[in-house]
């Protein structure tokens, strides 16, 4: 199993996902600026993974600070917080990771104690992520039967988490339970997380996978072999609206039209009970992601580009939401609240 985020030798070590699938290499982050750059450049990506990486970014800010009093240290931490927070505005886990660490050190006056508490908490978050994903997998795999073909979009596996995965964690758990599962992975333009990451990861773990162009989703569904669709989430509102990789919404529409169950797998840390749709910023990424493949231009010079990183899938298109505490079914506005209040 790939370990995407790890702490070792006073550094944060990340799999460099921009180099996959041709090269499995690692980036060593020794400062919070390194972590912010890694998140911004999608060296590390996926909501749970960037949440934990962000927490370790604050740990690095604390450990590299020369402050001798708590007031000065907090100024350094707030500076790091704001930089890291600005890197990816849509995924709620990023802010969740930062806020969890800042809450943990409230009212502590010892600089050395703050530094140790932050490191301990970030390590615990990484360990929790794996446990949560395994719990989610064991809960969700009951939805799949032996021999099922399952479609997924983008990458919601080990590479999107510390390890194991959310949507792919459910698939992985189904395989571990003895079921024969075949996966249809979309390429996920324009950054190709499906072809570069999901296909790589599933092959790495000997899970049967076929890759299709994004434009083939409807056609493949008409052939009648797809039994389920499962995706991850970067943010889920209290209404059940799901923010996920661009292209998720249109797959959900097609699944509904073909009577294919559409599942979302996400930890409770991805839920946002405070905001509404209009409050959320959809990240707009570089036009070069669309106009180039590598260094090769594939579009006219100076063409205008719309390149949102995420879209919104409404709750009426979602069959169920799989979490580490259980499966949430409609009506989501009521049942999400109940699940979030469950101990």
> How many Cβ atoms from other residues are within 10 Å of residue 8's Cβ?
8
By C-alpha distance, which of 202, 203, 208 is closest to 167?
202
Cα 314 from Cα 140, distance rounded (Å): 21
173: tokens are 């758990």
> How many Cβ atoms from other residues are within 10 Å of residue 9's Cβ?
7
Cα 214 from Cα 143, distance rounded (Å): 25
Alpha helices (H) along 208-327 = 217-222, 248-257, 288-291
By C-alpha distance, which of 158, 65, 195 is closest to 118?
65
DSSP bridge partners of 229: 151, 262
By C-alpha distance, which of 335, 308, 304 is closest to 321?
335
9: tokens are 């030798």
CB 175 within 8 A of CB 181: yes
234: annotated active-site residue: yes
Mention every residue, 6+ apart, whose C-beta is less than 8 A from residue 156. Answer: 46, 165, 166, 167, 168, 169, 231, 232, 265
**3-state DSSP assignment of residue 3:** coil
284-to-96, 281, 290 alpha-carbon distances in Å: 21, 9, 12
Q: Which of 234, 279, 311, 316 is catalytic?
A: 234
**3-state DSSP assignment of residue 228:** strand
DSSP bridge partners of 231: 264
Residues with catalytic annotation? Answer: 234
């Amino acid at each position: 199993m790939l370990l995407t985020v790890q702490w070792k030798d006073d550094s944060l070590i990340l799999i460099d996902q921009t180099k996959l699938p041709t090269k499995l290499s690692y980036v060593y982050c020794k400062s919070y600026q390194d972590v912010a750059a890694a998140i911004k450049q999608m060296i590390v990506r996926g909501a749970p993974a960037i949440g934990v990486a962000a927490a370790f970014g604050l740990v690095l800010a604390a450990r590299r600070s020369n402050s001798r009093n708590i007031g000065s240290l907090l100024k350094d931490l707030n500076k790091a917080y704001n930089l890291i927070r600005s890197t990816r505005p849509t995924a709620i886990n990023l802010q969740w990771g930062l806020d969890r660490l800042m809450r943990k050190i409230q009212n502590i006056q010892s600089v050395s104690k703050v530094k140790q508490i932050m490191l301990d908490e970030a390590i615990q978050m990484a360990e929790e992520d794996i446990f949560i994903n395994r719990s989610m997998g064991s809960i969700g795999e009951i939805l799949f039967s032996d021999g099922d073909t399952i479609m997924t979009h983008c990458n919601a596996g080990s590479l999107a988490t510390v390890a194991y995965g959310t949507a792919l964690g459910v698939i992985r758990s189904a395989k571990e339970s003895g079921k024969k599962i075949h996966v249809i992975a979309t390429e996920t333009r324009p950054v190709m997380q499906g072809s570069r990451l999901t296909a790589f990861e599933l092959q790495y773990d000997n899970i049967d996978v076929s890759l299709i162009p994004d434009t083939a989703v409807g056609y493949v569904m008409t052939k009648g072999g797809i039994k389920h669709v499962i995706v991850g989430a970067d943010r889920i509102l209290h209404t059940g609206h799901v923010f996920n990789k661009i292209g998720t919404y249109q797959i959900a529409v097609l699944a509904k039209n073909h009577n294919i169950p559409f599942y979302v797998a996400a930890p409770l840390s991805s839920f946002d009970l405070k905001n509404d749709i209009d409050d959320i910023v959809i990240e707009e990424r570089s036009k070069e992601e669309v106009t180039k493949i590598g260094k090769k231009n594939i579009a006219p010079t100076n063409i205008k580009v719309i390149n949102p990183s995420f879209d919104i899938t409404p709750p009426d298109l979602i069959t169920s939401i799989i979490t580490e505490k259980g499966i949430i079914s409609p009506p989501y506005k009521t049942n999400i609240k109940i699940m979030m209040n469950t101990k």
